[in-house]
C-alpha cells in the first residue's frame, strides 16, 4: 500500500515506526511513532484540507487528570513530495480496547460499567463544554481504551478522526466508516450534536453489559455498516431490548433515556446523564415510551413533518423551578413581574390593558446559567415550554428550516401560553450583513416575521447567546426581543448556593464548609462548580468514601476555569456597548 510516510522517516522529533491505517476518504493516515527517548506516541497525518482537520488540528490540549482524551503532545506541518500536510501527535496508552475485552468474553455489571462510562462522559463533557461545542461523533467500544493501573481503572477516549462542530442536516466529515449500530437515528439525516454522542455512549453501556450492541441481538447481521433502512426495521421493537435486561428498573430508566430513539426523550447533556448515573435514578420525569422516527430515504410519504416536530416538543415543564437557581434575584424578579404575571392573569391584562414583552435575550460568558434559568423559568411558571437548538431546525429540504420555524410558532400559539427558548440564538439568526447565503437570510427573515408582536399570540421567547454581537440586529429591536439581560459571573453568595444545590442529596462528610468552598472558587462559573462536584462524587464513589472538604478543595485547585479574565473583559465590553445602544430604553445590567 502506498503511504505518505515511510518507516524510519523523521517527522519533527518523531521517527515513524509503523503504519496503522488510512481513513476511508484517504484524507488522513495514522502511524505509530517514537520520540528521541524511545517513547511511543500516535501520529495522525492530515491532507492540506481545512475541512478534514479543522476540528482536531489546533485544538488546545483537553484533559483533566486521568479522566481524559488522549492529550496532544505535538503538532506541526510537513512537506511530502511538494504537498503540505498537517500532523498531530498524541500520547500512546498501553491499554486494551474495550471492544477486544468484550470480544474475549468480558461482561460488566451495571456498577462496573458505570464507573467506566462516567469517565467516558467526563471526557465528552470537556469537548461539549468548549465555547463552541465539539462533537465526537464516533463513540464506540473500539474507541475506548482501558488501562489497569494498580487498583485504578483508567479510561481514554480515542478515535478523533470525526470531530466536528454541531451538524444541522449535513455531516462535515466522512461517515462511511462509522459503526451504524452506535449511531443515533437523527445522524442518518445529517444531524450530529451532544445528544447523538449520548446515544452512542448509551449503546456502549448496553454492549458492556449484554456483550452485543443494542438491537443487534434481534438481527441476523452484525455488519458495522448495516443498512440504515434495515436498522430502522430492527429498532422498531423499541424498549423491549432493555426490558429483558437483568438490571434494576431505575437503571433501565437511565439507559432507556440514553438510547431513546426519540430525540426529544433523550438526555440533553452528558452532565445530566452523569448526575443520574451517580445518584442511581432518573431525576426528571420522563415518558419512557419509545418511538422510532424515519432514519433517511424517500420522505414523500411523510406528510406534515414540521407539524409533528413542533407538536411533539411543546409540553408543560415540571420541576423545582427557581428554587434550583442560585442567585440571580433580579432576573427572577423581572421574569415574575414582566412575564409570568401578565401571562398568568388574563383578567388583569384586559382590565389594565397590560402588554407582555415578546421576549428576552440572556447573554454573557458561557457556563453562567443562561439556558438553565430559562428551563427553570418554564418550571416555575408551569407554562407550556419548548427548548430549541440549532440542530432541531435542521432540514434536508430546500426551505425546510423556514417551514419548521413557521410551524413551531403556529403550534406554540395553538397551545398558548407558551415559552420558547432558543439556545445559542446567534447560530440561528446570524447577522445577514456578514453572509451571502440566501437560505440563511430567508431563515432570519422568517424569524423576524414570527417574532413580530408574538406576545399577542400568547408566546414568550427566550434567547441565549455567548456572542450577542453576532445576532442580526433586527432581532433585537423593540417588538421582537424587547429585553436584553447580561448574566455575569457568579458572586460569592451565588457560589455558596451553587455548592449547596450541587451537594444536596449526595453522600457527603459533615466537615464540608460551604463558605470556604465559595471563597476558594472565585472566577469559576456555574458549570465549573457542577463539574468540580461531579468529579469529586466520581472519585469518592470509586473509593466508596463520602465526599469531603479536602477532596473538593483539591479538585478546585486542579480544575480549569471555563472563562478567563480576558474573556470576562471582552463580555463586559460587549455589555457596555449594548447598554450604550439602548440607553434611551432604560435597560440595565441584571444578574447575580
> Residue 456 is placed in which grid cell?
399577542
80 preceded by a cis bond (ω within 30 of 0) = no
In whole angstroms, give the CA distance from residue 118 to residue 276.
Answer: 11
The 3-state DSSP class for residue 402 equals: helix
Could you tell me which residues are beta bridge partners of residue 64? 67
Residues 183-188: what's their mean pLDDT?
Answer: 94
pLDDT value for 252: 94
> Residue 322 is placed in which grid cell?
427557581
pLDDT higher than 80, residue 590: no
The residues, ordered by sequence, that sit 6+ positions from 51 with a Cβ below 8 Å of its Cβ are 172
pLDDT higher than 80, residue 493: yes
Which has more confidence, 240 or 556?
A: 556
Integer angstrom CA distances of residue 244 from 214, 221, 239, 248, 348: 12, 21, 9, 11, 54
The pLDDT confidence band at residue 187, using thresholds 50, 70 and 90, is very high
> Residue 505 is placed in which grid cell?
442529596
Question: In the predicted model, what is the mean pLDDT of the chain?
Answer: 79
pLDDT value for 375: 81
Alpha helices in 315-471 (DSSP H): 329-335, 341-344, 346-352, 370-381, 400-414, 438-451
Which has more confidence, 398 or 369?
A: 369
Which has more confidence, 404 or 205?
A: 205
> Residue 232 is placed in which grid cell?
430502522
- Is the distance from CB of 100 to CB of 124 less than 8 angstroms? no
Helical pair 194-210 and 249-258, crossing angle rounded to 10 deg = 140
Dihedral Cα 338, 327, 121, 503, nearest 10 deg: -140
Where do the domains of the chain lie, and which CATH numbers do they carry?
A: 10-91 (3.30.200.20), 96-279 (1.10.510.10), 305-489+570-585 (3.40.50.300), 492-560 (1.10.8.60)
In whole angstroms, give the CA distance from residue 525 to residue 136.
Answer: 24
In whole angstroms, give the CA distance from residue 138 to residue 158.
Answer: 9
- Dihedrals phi, psi of 401, to nearest 5 degrees: -65, -40
Dihedral Cα 85, 89, 95, 97, nearest 10 deg: -30
- Is the distance from CB of 394 to CB of 168 less than 8 angstroms? yes
Let me know the angle formed at the C-alpha of 161 by 208 and 132, rounded to the nearest 5 degrees: 95
The residues, ordered by sequence, that sit 6+ positions from 342 with a Cβ below 8 Å of its Cβ are 349, 354, 355, 356
pLDDT value for 259: 95
Taking phi over 0 as left and psi of -120 to 50 as alpha, with beta for the rest, 399 belongs to left
Residues 14-31: what's their mean pLDDT?
Answer: 83
pLDDT tens sequence across 421-437 = 898 888 888 888 776 66
Q: What is the DSSP string of 470-523?
A: GB-GGGGSTTSS-EEEE-----HHHHHHHHHHHHTTS-B-TT--HHHHHHHTTT
pLDDT value for 292: 34
Q: Would you report the helix, strand and coil content of the chain in percent, each value rounded to 5?
A: 45, 15, 40
The residues, ordered by sequence, that sit 6+ positions from 409 with a Cβ below 8 Å of its Cβ are 420, 450, 454, 457, 459
For residue 388, count other CB atoms closer than 10 A to its CB.
21
In whole angstroms, give the CA distance from residue 71 to residue 272.
Answer: 25
For residue 416, count other CB atoms closer than 10 A to its CB.
19
Task: Tell me which residue of 418, 409, 477 sits closest to 447, measured CA to CA.
Answer: 409
Under DSSP, the state recorded for 247 is S
The pLDDT confidence band at residue 199, using thresholds 50, 70 and 90, is very high
Residues 349-353: what's their mean pLDDT?
Answer: 82
pLDDT higher than 50, residue 409: yes
Most confident residue range from 147-161, 278-292, 507-521: 507-521
pLDDT higher than 80, residue 25: no
Which H or E element spans position 310? helix 305-313
pLDDT tens sequence across 262-319 = 998 999 999 889 888 988 888 764 433 333 333 333 333 433 434 444 555 666 666 7
> Residue 575 is placed in which grid cell?
455589555
In whole angstroms, give the CA distance from residue 259 to residue 267.
Answer: 9
pLDDT tens sequence across 391-404 = 677 654 445 577 77
Residues 34-47: what's their mean pLDDT?
Answer: 86
- Is the distance from CB of 102 to CB of 254 less than 8 angstroms? no
In whole angstroms, give the CA distance from residue 362 to residue 578.
Answer: 12
Residues 133-139: what's their mean pLDDT?
Answer: 91
pLDDT value for 438: 62
Percent of the chain topping pLDDT 90 = 21
Helices vs strands, H then E, count in the chain:
20, 19
In whole angstroms, give the CA distance from residue 55 to residue 74.
Answer: 16
pLDDT value for 98: 94
The residues, ordered by sequence, that sit 6+ positions from 141 with a Cβ below 8 Å of its Cβ are 97, 98, 99, 102, 204, 207, 208
Amino acid at each position: 500500500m502506498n503511504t505518505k510516510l515511510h518507516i524510519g522517516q523523521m517527522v519533527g522529533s518523531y521517527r515513524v515506526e509503523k503504519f496503522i491505517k488510512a481513513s476511508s476518504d484517504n484524507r488522513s493516515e495514522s502511524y505509530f511513532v517514537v520520540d528521541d527517548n524511545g517513547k511511543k506516541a500516535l501520529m495522525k497525518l492530515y491532507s492540506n484540507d481545512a475541512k478534514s482537520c479543522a476540528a482536531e488540528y489546533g485544538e488546545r490540549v483537553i484533559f483533566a487528570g486521568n479522566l481524559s482524551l488522549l492529550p496532544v503532545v505535538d503538532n506541526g506541518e510537513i512537506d511530502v513530495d511538494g504537498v503540505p500536510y498537517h500532523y498531530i501527535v498524541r500520547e500512546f496508552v498501553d491499554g486494551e480496547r474495550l471492544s477486544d475485552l468484550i470480544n474475549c468474553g468480558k461482561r460488566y455489571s451495571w456498577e462496573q460499567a458505570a464507573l467506566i462510562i462516567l469517565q467516558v462522559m467526563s471526557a465528552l463533557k470537556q469537548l461539549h463544554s468548549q465555547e463552541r461545542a465539539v462533537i465526537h461523533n464516533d463513540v464506540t467500544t473500539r474507541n475506548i481504551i482501558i488501562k489497569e493501573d494498580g487498583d485504578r481503572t483508567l479510561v481514554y477516549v480515542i478515535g478523533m478522526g470525526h470531530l466536528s462542530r454541531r451538524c444541522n442536516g449535513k455531516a462535515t466529515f466522512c461517515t462511511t466508516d462509522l459503526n451504524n449500530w452506535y449511531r443515533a437515528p437523527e445522524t442518518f439525516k445529517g444531524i450530529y450534536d451532544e445528544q447523538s454522542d449520548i446515544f452512542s455512549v448509551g449503546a456502549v453501556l448496553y454492549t458492556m453489559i449484554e456483550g452485543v450492541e443494542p438491537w443487534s441481538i434481534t438481527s441476523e447481521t452484525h455488519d458495522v455498516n448495516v443498512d440504515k433502512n434495515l436498522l430502522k426495521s430492527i429498532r422498531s421493537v423499541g424498549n423491549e431490548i432493555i426490558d429483558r435486561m437483568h438490571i434494576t428498573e431505575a437503571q433501565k430508566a437511565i439507559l432507556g433515556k440514553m438510547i431513546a430513539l426519540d430525540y426529544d426523550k433523550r438526555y440533553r447533556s452528558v452532565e445530566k446523564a452523569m448526575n443520574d448515573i451517580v445518584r442511581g435514578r432518573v431525576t426528571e420525569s420522563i415518558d419512557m415510551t419509545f418511538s422510532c422516527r424515519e432514519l433517511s430515504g424517500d420522505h414523500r410519504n411523510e406528510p406534515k413533518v414540521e407539524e409533528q416536530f413542533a407538536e411533539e416538543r411543546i409540553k408543560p415543564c415540571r420541576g423545582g423551578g427557581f428554587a434550583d437557581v442560585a442567585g440571580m434575584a433580579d432576573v427572577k424578579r423581572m421574569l415574575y413581574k414582566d412575564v409570568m404575571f401578565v401571562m398568568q392573569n388574563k383578567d388583569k391584562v384586559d382590565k389594565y390593558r397590560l402588554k407582555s414583552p415578546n421576549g428576552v435575550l440572556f447573554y454573557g460568558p458561557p457556563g453562567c446559567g443562561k439556558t438553565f434559568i430559562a428551563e427553570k423559568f418554564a418550571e416555575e411558571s408551569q407554562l407550556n415550554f419548548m427548548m430549541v437548538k440549532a440542530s432541531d431546525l435542521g432540514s434536508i429540504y430546500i426551505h425546510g428550516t423556514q417551514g419548521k420555524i413557521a410551524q413551531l410558532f403556529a403550534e406554540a400559539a395553538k397551545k398558548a401560553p407558551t415559552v420558547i427558548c432558543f439556545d445559542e440564538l446567534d447560530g440561528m439568526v446570524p447577522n445577514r450583513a456578514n453572509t451571502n447565503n440566501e437560505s440563511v437570510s430567508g431563515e432570519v427573515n422568517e424569524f423576524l416575521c414570527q417574532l413580530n408582536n408574538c406576545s399577542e399570540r400568547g408566546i414568550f421567547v427566550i434567547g441565549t447567546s455567548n456572542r450577542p454581537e453576532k445576532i442580526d440586529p433586527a432581532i433585537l429591536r423593540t417588538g421582537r426581543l424587547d429585553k436584553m439581560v447580561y448574566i455575569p459571573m457568579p458572586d460569592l453568595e451565588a457560589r455558596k448556593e451553587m455548592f449547596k444545590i450541587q451537594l444536596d442529596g449526595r453522600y457527603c462528610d459533615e466537615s464540608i464548609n460551604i463558605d470556604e468552598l465559595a471563597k476558594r472558587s472565585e472566577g469559576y462559573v456555574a458549570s465549573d462548580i457542577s463539574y468540580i462536584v461531579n468529579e469529586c462524587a466520581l472519585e469518592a464513589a470509586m473509593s466508596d468514601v463520602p465526599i469531603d472538604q479536602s477532596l473538593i478543595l483539591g479538585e478546585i485547585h486542579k480544575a480549569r476555569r471555563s472563562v478567563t479574565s480576558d474573556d470576562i473583559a471582552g463580555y463586559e465590553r460587549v455589555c457596555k456597548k449594548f447598554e450604550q445602544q439602548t440607553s434611551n430604553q432604560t435597560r440595565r445590567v441584571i444578574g447575580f
